[in-house]
């Protein structure tokens, strides 16, 4: 499981011109799954995300978590996180989990985030989406957990 995390002042996601999710302050999470991902990876990364200290304290140090600042998450499914570009000019997406598996994992991940008391807004799984955000910092991190880590 891979999550690209961006600290955002605001963000939204739209499908066919209709906004499906928006946050004022928090994290934009682009979320991808690979074969073998399951409950352990979901639980680990959800816990990591809500406690990750990447928001500034009163001294300007990244010392506060999403829970500390009362932020929200905009979660967007993105199978392209598992695109392999090592050979040729066209990405290979064979490492991405099949849609019928990934959709359930994505829903479960969002539920796990919500179980921590976090507001979670989303796009629509499998849809062509447009994501807008004001990256705060900018701060962008990649979190990953593979089966058997």
Q: Residues 99, 95, 143, 81: is their CA dihedral positive or negative?
A: negative
CB proximity list for 98: less than 8 A, separation 6 or greater? 35
55, 79, 112, 122: the catalytic one is: 79
Specify whether 78 is catalytic: yes
Active site residue 34: no
Classify 119 as helix, strand or coil.
coil
Active-site annotation holder among 34, 78, 112, 122: 78
Is it true that the peptide bond before 16 is cis, omega within 30 degrees of 0? Answer: no
Q: Please count the other Cβ atoms lying within 10 Å of the Cβ belonging to residue 106.
A: 26
Q: Is 140 tagged catalytic?
A: no
Choosing from 80, 107, 111, 140, the catalytic residue is 80
Q: Looking at the annotation, which residues are catalytic?
A: 78-80
């Amino acid at each position: 499981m891979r999550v690209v995390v961006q600290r955002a002042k605001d963000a939204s996601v739209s499908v066919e011109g209709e906004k499906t999710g928006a946050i004022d302050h928090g994290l934009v999470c682009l979320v991808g799954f690979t074969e073998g991902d399951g409950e352990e990876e979901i639980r680990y990364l959800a816990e990591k995300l809500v406690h990750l200290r990447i928001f500034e304290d009163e001294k300007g140090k990244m010392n506060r978590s999403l829970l500390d600042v009362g932020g929200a998450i905009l979660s967007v499914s993105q199978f392209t996180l598992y695109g392999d570009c090592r050979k040729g000019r066209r990405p290979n997406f064979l490492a991405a989990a099949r849609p019928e598996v990934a959709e359930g994992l994505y829903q479960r991940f969002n539920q796990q985030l919500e179980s921590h008391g976090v507001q979670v807004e989303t796009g629509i799984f499998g849809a062509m989406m447009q994501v807008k955000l004001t990256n705060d910092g900018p701060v962008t991190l990649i979190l990953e957990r593979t089966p058997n880590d």
